[in-house]
Amino acid sequence: GLHLDGYNEELGLAFEYSSNQYYQIVPFFHLQEQMNLDAQIWRDWKKRALCYREGSNWHKEYALVKDEKFDTLLGPQAIFYPQDDNTASVRQDATELEEENYHLRNEIQIEVDTNRRNEKQIRDLERDYDRCVQEIQTLNGEIERLENASKEEIIELKSEISSLKSRLYQAKKDIQDKENYIS
């Protein structure tokens, strides 16, 4: 969680000790440089916002400056959180956040992979669709050609039948004429 360095319940006063590591990169505190500094600034902002939301005042005490008025104001009512606990809590929080970040990245990667597979399937389906549309157009053209060819073939066949009938009639007539000539 977000731990404070100290809190005076009677005064409703939350306080944090502050030094350079809150405003600039200090390798001891910021192993990952800017990312750690940004995280520190974000945590401080969130602690301050939570204190204001809960009705507590916020005070930042500079660790290198001894403020007698502040110490007197806090008096014996102040609850101090030892530095070791804060350090352990921050490390635990960082570990928890890194673990959560790892799981979230894995979930995101799964989503990304699923989206890529889906996009590939969509592209494949679109190609199949385009190919089917092309085949349908080709088949429609072939059907139309066959229908037109059939009409023409029917006309040609009728003409051929008519011509055969005429020749058959002529052959029959020739046979009758030859029979008459022979008789």
Q: Which helix (H) or strand (E) holds 175?
A: helix 83-182
The two tokens of residue 57 are 């005042």
Region 93-110 average pLDDT: 80
Q: What's the number of domains the chain is made of?
A: 1
Examine residue 131 and state whether it is found in any structural domain, yes or no. Answer: no
- When pLDDT is cut at 50, 70 and 90, the band that residue 126 belongs to is very high
Examine residue 137 and state whether it is found in any structural domain, yes or no. Answer: no
Partnered with residue 62 across adjacent β-strands are: 18
Examine residue 107 and state whether it is found in any structural domain, yes or no. Answer: no
Cβ-defined contacts of 44-49 (< 8 Å, 24+): 44/16, 46/2, 47/2, 47/4, 47/14, 47/16
Task: Note the pLDDT of residue 55.
Answer: 65
Examine residue 146 and state whether it is found in any structural domain, yes or no. Answer: no
How high is the mean pLDDT of the chain? 72
Region 44-63 average pLDDT: 64
- Lowest mean per-residue pLDDT among 2-11, 53-62, 120-129: 53-62
pTM for this predicted structure: 0.35
Partnered with residue 78 across adjacent β-strands are: 8
- Provide the 10 A C-beta neighbour count for residue 14: 22
Examine residue 149 and state whether it is found in any structural domain, yes or no. Answer: no
The two tokens of residue 171 are 């052959």
Residue 89: is its pLDDT beyond 70?
no
Highest mean pLDDT among 73-82, 88-97, 105-114: 105-114
Examine residue 28 and state whether it is found in any structural domain, yes or no. Answer: yes
- When pLDDT is cut at 50, 70 and 90, the band that residue 110 belongs to is very high
Examine residue 51 and state whether it is found in any structural domain, yes or no. Answer: yes
List the domain range (segments joined by +) for residue 24.
Answer: 1-81
Examine residue 46 and state whether it is found in any structural domain, yes or no. Answer: yes
Region 92-99 average pLDDT: 67
Distance CA 148, CA 154 (A): 10
- When pLDDT is cut at 50, 70 and 90, the band that residue 61 belongs to is very low
- Over 25-55, what HEC string results? CCCCCCCCCHHHHHHHHHHHHHHHHHHHHCC
